[in-house]
């Protein structure tokens, strides 16, 4: 079975400092992994996806994530936080042989201080 | 181009009532999925449809049902509403029915059951 664990429920950074949101996954299959962002009262926006190509994935708004099979991790990073990055972030793994099912983590709330 | 559109954006229902939520995918997208997001949690998979056929079903009771129409739009129906059905219901579309392309989410329907 597939699962994903986001290691921090809340992360707070200062504007201009690096962001690290941690995610570990469990999968019986070669997984597809995603990061989505959700701003208050908005839908989910795809930040980036890993689908067995390059292990370092670049996404929108300066975010990137590295797939590490040996550590079963897919941490999200950004060199310099911006106030507009404040939102809820979800790490997501595909449902393996269950077609299009996405399995979401519990989310990490990112706060950015001026 | 229009994204994934959902209607209504908000609604309030009484316990025991029935509700129908609607979703129009991105033009050309043949796969639609439904997710339930309870406050403070990650979205949970309810259904996936591709080419008008059910491709996956999450762990939800039979009170939840869905269908996809020839134009690929979709309805989610919930019967005998319970207080615990209060949530944000998200619809997502995908052009290929596989995960390699990621999913585009709508802004959701906020359902409150009183």
Whether the CB-CB separation of A25 and A67 falls below 8 Å is answered with no
The 8-class DSSP code of residue A15 comes to T
Q: Residues A45-90: pLDDT tens digits?
A: 999 999 877 889 999 999 999 999 999 999 999 999 999 999 999 9
Restricting to A residues 25-64, those with a Cβ less than 8 Å away from any Cβ of B are 32, 34, 36, 42-46, 49, 51
Other beta carbons within 10 angstroms of residue B89's beta carbon come to 22
Q: Is B59 on the interface with A (CB under 8 A)?
A: no
Asked if pLDDT for residue A40 goes beyond 90, the answer is no
Tell me which chain A residue has its CA closest to the CA of residue B103: A46
Half-sphere exposure of residue B3, counting CA atoms within 13 Å on the CB side?
13
- How high does pLDDT run on average in chain B? 92
Q: Is A99 on the interface with B (CB under 8 A)?
A: yes
B interface mutation test: which of A38, A45, A100 has the most B CBs within 10 A?
A: A100
What pLDDT shows up at residue A29?
A: 78
Phi/psi of residue A33, each to 5°? -130, 145
Cβ distance of A90 and B42 shorter than 8 Å? yes
Q: What is the mean pLDDT of residues B37-47?
A: 93
What pLDDT shows up at residue B100?
A: 56
């Amino acid at each position: 079975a597939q699962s994903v664990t986001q290691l921090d429920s809340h992360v707070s950074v200062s504007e201009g400092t690096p962001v690290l949101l941690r995610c570990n996954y469990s999968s019986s299959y070669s997984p597809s992994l995603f990061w989505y962002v959700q701003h208050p009262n908005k839908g989910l926006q795809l930040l980036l996806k890993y689908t067995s190509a390059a292990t370092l994935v670049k996404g929108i708004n300066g975010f990137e994530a590295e797939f590490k099979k040996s550590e079963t991790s897919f941490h999200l990073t950004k060199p310099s936080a911006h106030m507009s990055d404040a939102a809820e972030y979800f790490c997501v793994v595909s449902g393996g042989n269950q077609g299009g099912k996405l399995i979401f983590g519990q989310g990490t709330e990112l706060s950015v201080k001026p | 181009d229009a994204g994934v559109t959902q209607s209504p954006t908000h609604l309030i229902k009484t316990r025991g009532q029935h509700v129908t939520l609607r979703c129009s995918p991105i033009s050309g997208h043949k796969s639609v999925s439904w997710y339930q997001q309870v406050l403070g949690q990650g979205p949970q998979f309810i259904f996936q449809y591709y080419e008008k056929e059910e491709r996956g079903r999450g762990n939800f009771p039979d009170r939840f049902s869905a269908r996809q129409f020839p134009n690929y739009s979709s309805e989610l129906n919930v019967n005998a509403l319970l207080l615990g059905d209060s949530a944000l219901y998200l619809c997502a579309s995908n052009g290929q029915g596989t995960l390699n392309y990621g999913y585009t989410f709508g802004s959701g329907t906020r359902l409150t059951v009183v």
